[in-house]
């Protein structure tokens, strides 16, 4: 039986770049990106003027500059973005306690208990955000989290889209399978080999076929391609992991170079744990490497303490799988599952 909910997904428009343009109005009409300014860095986000040139988030800086030579790149300033995010969340709190932040720039809101329409509430929230922070937001309104999140991208920037329960079937049937949560490039290629590119086409496959092709995720796909999503909005969700990573301007050629870099990142990780998760119990330690040929590898071990010696062992294990120079190094911890939360590790593993 489908649960009756009204969910709003708020997604700030090019958030980091928008905050930078607010602070420096002279950049507002110029192609702008936030991220590492060196040729070896990657972009965290970019404004819409930059996107017109094909520049995208997570794109290497050298590629972005090839596409847009006049691109202005500014460094990341997380404290500034956190302050803006806090102001946005104060707006959310006026409407509902059921708020599930996904990151600094997006969140789900359950407004099922309010008597007014979700569209009206979303419009008010977006207007308040603009008035109080000078930033724009887009919104999706639907009967569940899946529909709301997809809809929030429909009329970007500074727009909103409502999908009423009676319109879900039509909305989903015309949708690309790539829009479904969990369907990435590899899954979409596998589906395309079977002639499946839209949700309507995916709906023709039964649960047995989906389970055979995709395991337990196939059973989820059966519901998701029909717009069925029973996940509740989880207020005060506890994060599942903590990590940091660095892309180097010059490749690290030796294991000793990697050790020195890891030592610095370990100090940052320990400080983050002290400030942001002092009471959390650690379940696993992880090290991620990206080699000069862009191949990636991850090493992990169980352990209750974020000890430097343990990370060094993981580094040696990961390094030994290739021996190629290192372009990126990341380290992190996963917290015990019993403490809740489902946030993905920031290392992108």
pLDDT exceeds 90 at position 215: no
Choose from 1-5, 197-201, 270-274, 338-342 the range with maximum mean pLDDT: 197-201
pLDDT exceeds 50 at position 340: no
pLDDT of residue 275: 74
Pairing of strands 137-142, 160-162: parallel
List pLDDT tens digits, range 103-156: 889 999 999 999 999 999 999 999 999 999 999 999 999 999 999 999 999 999
- Domains of the chain, by residue range, sit at 7-12+82-167, 16-78, 169-224, 241-339
What is the average pLDDT value for the chain, to the nearest integer? 89
In eight-state DSSP terms, residue 115 is S
CATH superfamily of 241-339: DNA polymerase, Y-family, little finger domain (3.30.1490.100)
d(CA 108, CA 100): 5
Q: Is 100 a catalytic residue?
A: no
Phi-psi region of 305 (alpha: psi -120 to 50; beta: other; left: phi over 0): beta
- Sequential DSSP letters for 141-185: EESSHHHHHHHHTTT-SS-EEE--GGGHHHHHHTSBGGGSTT--H
d(CA 41, CA 115): 48
pLDDT of residue 341: 36
Lowest mean pLDDT among 190-194, 237-241, 242-246, 280-284: 237-241
What's 169-224's CATH class?
mainly alpha
pLDDT exceeds 50 at position 349: no
Among 100, 106, 124, 271, the active-site one is 106
Token pair for 297? 């590898």
- Does domain 7-12+82-167 correspond to CATH entry 3.30.70.270? yes
Q: Give the contacts of 104 (CB within 8 A, at least 6 positions apart).
A: 15, 81, 82, 84, 85
Q: Which helix (H) or strand (E) holds 133?
A: helix 118-133
Q: How far is CA 72 from the centre of its chain?
A: 23
d(CA 302, CA 334): 9
Is the whole model's pTM more than 0.75, yes or no? no
CATH number, domain 16-78 = 3.40.1170.60
Give the mean pLDDT of 200-216.
92
pLDDT of residue 322: 87
């Amino acid at each position: 039986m489908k649960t009756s909910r009204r969910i709003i997904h708020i997604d700030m428009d090019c958030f980091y770049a928008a905050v930078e343009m607010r602070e420096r109005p002279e950049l507002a009409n110029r192609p702008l990106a936030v991220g590492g300014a060196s040729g070896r860095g990657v972009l965290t986000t970019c404004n819409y003027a930059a996107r017109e040139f094909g520049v995208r988030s997570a794109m290497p800086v050298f590629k972005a500059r090839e596409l847009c030579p006049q691109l202005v790149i500014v460094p990341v300033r997380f404290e500034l973005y956190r302050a803006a995010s806090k102001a946005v969340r104060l707006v959310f709190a006026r409407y509902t306690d059921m708020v599930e932040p996904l990151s600094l720039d997006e969140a789900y809101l359950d407004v099922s208990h309010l008597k007014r329409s979700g569209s009206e509430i979303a419009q008010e929230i977006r207007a308040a955000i603009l008035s109080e922070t000078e930033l724009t937001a887009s919104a999706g309104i639907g009967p569940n989290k899946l529909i709301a999140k997809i809809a929030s991208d429909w009329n970007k920037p500074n727009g909103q889209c409502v999908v009423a329960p009676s319109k879900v079937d039509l909305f989903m049937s015309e949708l690309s399978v790539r829009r479904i949560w969990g369907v990435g490039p590899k899954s979409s290629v596998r589906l395309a080999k079977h002639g499946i590119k839209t949700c309507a086409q995916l709906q023709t496959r039964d649960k047995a076929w989906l389970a055979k092709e995709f395991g337990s995720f196939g059973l989820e796909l059966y519901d998701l391609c029909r717009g069925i999503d029973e996940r509740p909005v989880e207020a005060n969700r506890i994060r599942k992991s903590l990590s940091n990573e660095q892309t180097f301007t010059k490749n690290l050629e030796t294991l000793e170079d990697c050790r020195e870099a890891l030592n610095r990142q370990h100090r940052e990780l320990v400080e983050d744990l002290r400030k942001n998760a002092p009471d959390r119990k650690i379940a696993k330690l992880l090290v991620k490497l990206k080699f000069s040929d862009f191949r990636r590898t991850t090493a992990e071990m169980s352990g209750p303490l974020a000890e430097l010696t343990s990370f060094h062992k993981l580094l040696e294990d990961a390094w030994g799988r290739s021996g190629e120079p290192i372009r990126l190094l990341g380290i992190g911890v996963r917290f015990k599952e019993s403490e809740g939360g489902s946030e993905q590790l920031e290392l992108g593993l």
